[in-house]
Structures are given as C-alpha cells and as structure tokens.
Structure 1
Amino acid sequence: MGERGTSNHSEMTDFILVGFRVRPELHVLLFLLCLLVYATVLFGNVGMMAIIMTDPRLNTPMYFFLGNLSFIDLFYSSVIAPKAMINFWSETKSISFAGCVAQLFLFALFIVTEGFLLAAMAYDRFIAICNPLLYSVQMSTRLCIRLVAGSYFCGCISSVLQTSMTFTLSFCASRVIDHFYCDSRPLQRLSCSDLFIHKMVSFSLSSIIILPTMVVIIVSYMYIVSTVLKIRSTEGRKKAFSTCSSHLGVVGVLYGAVFFMYLTPDRFPELSKVASLCYSLVTPMLNPLIYSLRNKDVKEALKKLLEKKNAIF
C-alpha cells in the first residue's frame, strides 16, 4: 500500500474533531444550546439520584434501577459534552490519542450498560404487574444487584472489544475525525485496513447487544399489556399503564436514536451527528424529566424535599 499503509495508529499522537459543519458565527449559539442541555442533564440526573437516596418510600427495585439509570446518563453525557463545548472555542479542535481511546471506551461502556439496564427495568415492570403477590420475593435485593452488575459487566466486555477492534486498525495520514466525539464509524473512515472482518464483528456484537435486550423488553410488555387488558377497573388499568409509560418513553427515545444512527448510510455523516447528539445529550436530559413528570411518587418526594429545604432556610 505504499506510504498509506505504513502510517498507522502507533504514529498518531492526536486527532482533530471536526464537529458540526456550520458557519463560525453559529458556534456561540451551539455552545449555549449544548451548555443549556448539559446543565439540564446535570441538574436532572443528580436531582433524581438525590431524591431516590433521601426518600425511604423510594427504596424499591424500580427506583434502584432508576437511580442507576440516572448515574449512567450523567456519566456518558459527561464523556461527550465538555470536550464538544471546548471545541466550539478551540482553534485546533484536537483530542489526544489516549483521550480518544478513553472517550470511545467510556461512551461504549455506559451506552451498552444502559441498554441492558432498560431490559432489567422492563423485567421488573413485568414481575410487578403480572406477578404482584410474588414481586418482593422474585425481585429481591440480591437479584437487583446482580442485574445491575451484569449490565455493567456486559457493557465493559462490549466496550473492551469495540475499543480494541477500532484502535488496532491501521490509520492513514489523515487524522481528521468527521464527528464531535471519537466514535467507531468515523474512525473507520480514517483506516487503511480492510474493514470487512471488522464490520462483520461489529455487526455481530451489536446484534448480540441489541436483539436480546429488545426481545426482553418486547416480550415483557406483551405480557404486561395482556395482563392489564384483563383488569376490569378503568382506574386499575390506568394506574398499571402509568407505571410503564415512563419506561417505554425512555426506551423509545434511546433505541429510536440508536437505530437512526446505525441505519443512516455512512455517506450522510451530518445525519449521524444529529442522531448521536440525540442519544448522547438529549436522551440523558429527557430521562429524568419523563420519570419526574409521569411518576406520582417522584413528584411527591421532590415536593417533600423542597419543603424540607424551605423549612431549613
């Protein structure tokens, strides 16, 4: 391959993150928009974790999972947003090779973990609605901890494989990543290697992650809907559906953005950036809002917490 083939990742010291291809005068607007969204992510998810940890009434499996969801949302958005905002003002827009590896690893870790956690939350709702008398027995503290730990374990294994596959590729002379963070698809565009095997392994890995979680979620909600429709009381059906609507909203937003991202042809990088923005910043912002606005227990806990603070001051 000549000189193209000899220039590989071992010689790379940094990359350039192009970000969004917009006029320079729009950078200020985009920075302010990202700052507002990221501040909402921080406030919403930290607030959600604080409410869950301080209110004894929320000491249930559902809120244990929700607290972990907020933790994941907080951290995977923090992997992306600060660097993206810095690059709006930076002349070079560079990221070190080690920083790029760390960014891809951490983002893949948290996003995959969230997928498995959402599946665990669907199973929790299935047990709560379809087997309410056995809920406290089946959804024991030990099982909840194992489900969360298993989600992190799967996320870690997937992240190690994805990151190692990406950074064992040989990169060409170009170090310009047409994206606002280090992701595997834009990094593949810089590679001089044959990507067939790499893409097949990536596709297989994605299928192993997405299909089982989607099957668990879909099957759980098929049983939930079947059970709820058998409830004679309109109020009972409304209450049962209300406990699931928040989770379905979160699943729809995350998986909708992910599917759009990976089904978008590679020749449309700007559309991929918009989809990436949705699940890296918009989804973590919406999750606590969806749960707080649709959940009576969370609203009451928030009201109690605010009243307690007002009494102190």
Structure 2
Amino acid sequence: MALYSSGGAMLTIYDQKQLAAEMTAKGDTPKQQLLDQWGKNRIAPTNPGDVLAVEHAENKVSWMQDGVAQNMPKRLNKKEWLFEVTDKGYRLLDLNQMVFPALTFENHTDPSKVEQVVRNEVAKQQTSVKVESIDMPDLKTVGKKKIKLKVSQASVAKNNQRIAYVYEIPIEVTEGSLSFVQMPKVIDFGSVRIDGKRIEVPRVGDQSTMTIKVRDGRSRKTSWTLDVQQQSPLTDSKQRTVKQSLLFFREDAHEYPLKVGTNQRIKKVSNAQIDHSFTYDPQAGLLLRIPENMFDFSADTYDFKLQWTLGDTPV
C-alpha cells in the first residue's frame, strides 16, 4: 500500500518523488511489523487530492467508510485499487481499469499510426480520461517492447490538480515486408476512334497521372523488382477477345510489351530506403497502342485485368 501526494498540478501514481508513505508485506510478514511501516505512530497524514494505491496479489481487498464495509465493485484490474482522499472520505478511481490488447506492427511503421491505435482504444474504454503522453519504443528493430501511455483525470478534491497513471502496453515489432501503398485500381483509356491509323492511347480520368507507391519495411534492404502481368486479353461485353497484345509499359524511355499470362519486369530498385514513389505522366506508365490497319474491334466497351507483383529476390 502506498500514499502519493503532490504540491503541483499533476499527481502521478507510482512516481517515487511523490511517494509520501508506503508499507509492503509478504505472506509471512507479522501484522505489527507491517503496521509499523505506516508513518510515525502508524499514522500517515493526508491531504485532499492525495491518492492511496492498494495492491494485493490475491485480490483480497476490503474497504471501510465511516466504519461501514463498502461493496467492492467488479474490476478489470482486480489486484490494484486506487482511492483519492477527499473531505468526505475515499473516492474509488477508475483510472487504472483499462485493458489493452497486445499490439503487433511491422518494423518501420509510422509511429503516428501506432499512436492513433492507442488513442482510439483509450477513447473506446474511458471517455473521462485525458491522454497526457505516449512514449514509443524503437519501431525500427524487431522484438517485444513496451509503449508507455500516461493518462490523467481531474481531481475532485483539489482544484487545478490532475491524477495521472502510466500504462505499459505490450507491442511486438515484427519483420517488415515489401508492400504496395498505392496502386492504380482502375485504368481508363476513354473512347477511341479507330480509323486504320496507328494510335497511341494515353490514360484519362483520375489515372491520367499514374502513381505507384511501395513501402520497404524489411530490415535488410536488398534490391527488389516490380512486375506486371496482363491476366486477360481485351474482352468486350459479349466476351469477344482481341488476340493481339496492345498494352505496354513505358518506363524511362524504354517500352515493355505486355503479354497475357506472362510477367513483365518493369522496374529494378536498389535504393536502401523505406518509402518509394513513382509517378508517370499520361505519356508514360501503362499505355495502349493500336497498330495501323487493325480493325479487330467492335464498337463496345473492353475490359482487361492486370496483376502487379513485388519481388525481393536480389537482382
């Protein structure tokens, strides 16, 4: 059992600088020896706003108020009880009653993303508490770590004082991977008039400027590749297909034709960085070319499917 007192605006439970009195016991500690720890004449002076923290390994805690035994409510944290000292007796605090699930994130995850998960969990469990600080461990290295979350609530006994409590939330940082952050989900070539001439068709709409973003969360930054495969031929609404390969990818003035069912490598990357972004104007990236004297099309809408693949085999 420990008593904490503060002359400032923040009382932080378990802050050794704010510890006013303390007594501890094991199962075989004599009762008189235990009581002798609680200040001179076994009395620990208190002030409104002080906090009494009571811990019991077997959850055997009882509470008397004005000589009357109080009902002990159900608690999530059953072994730790916090009471604020007020002019009218003890006030049971809920500040320590949040339970956080173990978190798992890949290394190199943006700390703000982890922080938002923690804040959302606090808001879901206790709307009356304020997040004072969130201290993140190193998210760049793999391993089991702890997030230190400090929350507070207003004191009812002492104006302009808040009572703070620190949680240690387990987090496991796992090995990261290559992953797409942004990819074109729909490619639109708009409407094309075929008149027998050779036509190069740029993208239109939201993907007229095409952006691919990749995140490399691996600890060991080996080189990696980006492949694209045309999974189905151009197919109209009546399931008629165009046999000729018309799609290609233009990258740094090089053109890579796409063939149905075959991976086409379009990029090799050796930069040892985490975030990669590649932007293509309407004359680069994925394009459509219709050769001259080709009249295999019917007036219709044509669809096709692509598959993008990241590979981390050294090149």
TM-score normalised according to structure 1 size = 0.19
Structure with the larger strand share? 2
Structure with the larger helix share? 1
Tell which structure's C-alpha radius of gyration is larger. 2
Higher RCO (CA-CA < 8 Å; seq separation 6+): 1
